[in-house]
Structure 1
Amino acid sequence: MNRPRKLFVLQLAFTLAVCAFLIVPVILSMLAGLTVNYIAGLSSGLTLRWIFEVWDGYRDTIFRSVGIALACLVVTLLLGVPTAYVLARTRNRVGRWIEELLVLPIAMPGLATALALIASYGALRGFRTSFSFILVGHVLFTLPFMVRSVLAVLQSIDLKTLEEGAASLGAGFARRFFDIVLPNCRQGILAGSLMVVTLSMGEFNMTWLLHTPLTKTLPVGLADAYASLRLEVGSAYTLIFFMMIVPLLLAMQTLARPRTTKFIADDATPDAKP
């Protein structure tokens, strides 16, 4: 076996070992949600009892998490894409400072951000007990990911030249933004959307402090299930979470793939003349 072949085999073995290290605990956790008795293992038999029990008792947290994640996606799109556009056009020290300030909620612990929100808006009782309060925290946490994803794409293209070319043809600002800017940053928008939805669905630290008994989300319900119920119930909760999030991830990654354009040569058309 030559040296490049040995190097490839070692790299492949290392990659498979890392994947097994990450995936095997998840698989074991999901299997625990399908076993009659986790202590006895698979020999006790398989059952869907725990999944139905979680669905009957916690399905409201599942739908609430999906709603908050989708609402968070809409808000971050409305705020993040224009912000990234402005930062791409403003390439100076002020723009860089604003970009760094946007990342500040990520650098801070989620509990600290939650405490800051409670100290600022906790007196607004109607707002404090609504799911909108959690939504604000999720937007603060996920907005930098949307801005950075879109900004990276906008900075990789000659945006100024494209807009000047469209303006010279009579396109106004709105048409330039929707017909030039948005199509060119499509990949960044899809990548940012993927991160926003997944992070919002799985966010726990901040949500644990912001939630109320009536606004419990899926990760908080998952923690309660592991802490106060049988391990099988918590594992079934994890299985339902993966059943929801994996198809969503696959769908969004499919949308994020670049489109391929096929060109037909002139001499390949039926009307081509010799």
Structure 2
Amino acid sequence: MAIGRGFTWFAVLLCLAPMPLLLVVATTANWPLGFWAGGFTLGWLREGWATVHPYALFSLRLALTVLAIDLAVGLPAAWLIARHAFPGRQALLALINVPLAVPGIAIALALILAYPLARASGLLLIAGQVVYTLPFLVATLAPALAQPALIEREAVARTLGASAMQRLLYITLPAIRSALLAALILVFTLSMGEFNVSFFLFTPLNKTLPIELYSAYITNRVEVAAAITLIFLAFVVPAAIAIERLGGSKIGQA
């Protein structure tokens, strides 16, 4: 236990150590000269927000769109996989999980080759993120929907005259609430931070926040890039914490 705790704290410190340094760089007037050289400033954060806020808002709208599509497709798919044994069930499950094993560049190039005219409209960007995030939603919801106790309660409600909609609203959804919220936040976080697929599908009018973050590190001063990174983390970290609070263990088991 002591050794395990030691390695755990080492991993935590290793992951969190860059955060204070990012804050220092983003608030230093002239970072190449050292820590807070030239004084403390919030100018880089203001400049970073002015640079990326259109892309941050676009990424937010994109994530919500992907979230709605994933829910509309993934909830019925998870229900079907969890509740019914039918020919081709394993093939369907494998097909849903294929994007997890395929590099993002391959998914993006396949979409571009198959639907070249849809790229300019931004539809390919939405499709690419749906393909990438949908397996996570299905994998999180299917075990929750397959719980024997839940199936038994639904059967009892059906014998008492509850309709399908009543069973869904008053029994199923409350029982899988934590898993559902965790799945939705997971999809939102993945969409906000997705880079590999988006890098090949974005257009100048449909650029996501991670793409602009990459551009900042290539073209801007390191202080601006650090400021933009902090802004990006402000969107993603709270969602990651919420996942852990609402159902991180369920996602890990899935």
Pair in the same fold by TM > 0.5: yes
Aligned residue pair count: 247
Q: Structure 1 stretches of 5 or more lacking a match?
A: 1-6, 258-274
- Bigger drift between 234-243 and 185-194 goes to 185-194
Bigger Cα Rg? 1
Residue 26 (structure 1) aligns with: 19
Share of identical aligned residues, percent? 36
Of 4, 12, 21 in structure 2, the residue corresponding to residue 11 of structure 1 is: 4
Q: Structure 2 stretches of 5 or more lacking a match?
A: 249-254
1:46-61 counterparts in 2 under 5 A?
46-61=40-55
Residue 191 (structure 1) aligns with: 182
The question of 1:66 aligning with 2:57 is answered: no
Of 24, 37, 41 in structure 1, the residue corresponding to residue 30 of structure 2 is: 37
- Inter-CA distance 43–106: structure 2 relative to 1 (3 Å threshold): same
SS at match of 1:42: coil
SS at match of 1:158: helix
SS at match of 2:32: coil
SS at match of 2:17: helix
CA contact (8 A) 1:152 1:188 kept: no
Aligned mates of 1:111, 1:150 — CA distance in 2: 27
Q: TM-score, normalised by structure 2?
A: 0.89
- Bigger drift between 179-188 and 101-110 goes to 179-188
Residue 149 (structure 1) aligns with: 140
CA contact (8 A) 2:195 2:211 kept: yes
Residue 207 (structure 2) aligns with: 216
Q: TM-score, normalised by structure 1?
A: 0.83
SS at match of 1:103: helix
Aligned mates of 1:42, 1:171 — CA distance in 2: 66
Deviation of 1:72 after TM superposition, in Å, equals 1.3
Deviation of 1:134 after TM superposition, in Å, equals 1.3
Deviation of 1:201 after TM superposition, in Å, equals 0.6
Q: Deviations over 1:116-162 (max 9, x none)?
A: 111111124xxx22333311111111111111101111223334422
- Inter-CA distance 234–47: structure 2 relative to 1 (3 Å threshold): same
Deviation of 1:29 after TM superposition, in Å, equals 2.8
Aligned mates of 1:113, 1:134 — CA distance in 2: 11
Residue 101 (structure 1) aligns with: 95
CA contact (8 A) 1:81 1:189 kept: no
1:160-175 counterparts in 2 under 5 A?
160-175=151-166
